[in-house]
Amino acid sequence: MNFPRFLVGMTTASFVVALSTFLATGSIWKALGWTVLTLIVLQVGYFIFVVRLIYRGRKSHR
């Protein structure tokens, strides 16, 4: 997975979460809160993915 593809996916997922939360609750603030939470979870997941790739790469070179 490369970074531009991740950004497109993250943007799309954030938009879907924001829109569905707004339509379900009618609150812009709840939609914003859930969207920020989604962005944080996605970013942490991407960080773990990159760390795992680096760790596996170093392990195979030994």
What is the tens place of the pLDDT at every residue in 3-51? 788 889 889 999 999 999 999 999 999 999 999 999 999 999 989 988 9
Instruction: Check whether 61 has a pLDDT greater than 80.
Output: no
Question: pTM to 2 decimals?
Answer: 0.76
Q: Quick one: which of 54, 51, 45, 53 has its CA closest to 6?
A: 45
Residue 59 has pLDDT above 90, yes or no: no
DSSP per residue over 12-47, as a string?
A: HHHHHHHHHHHHHH--HHHHHHHHHHHHHHHHHHHH
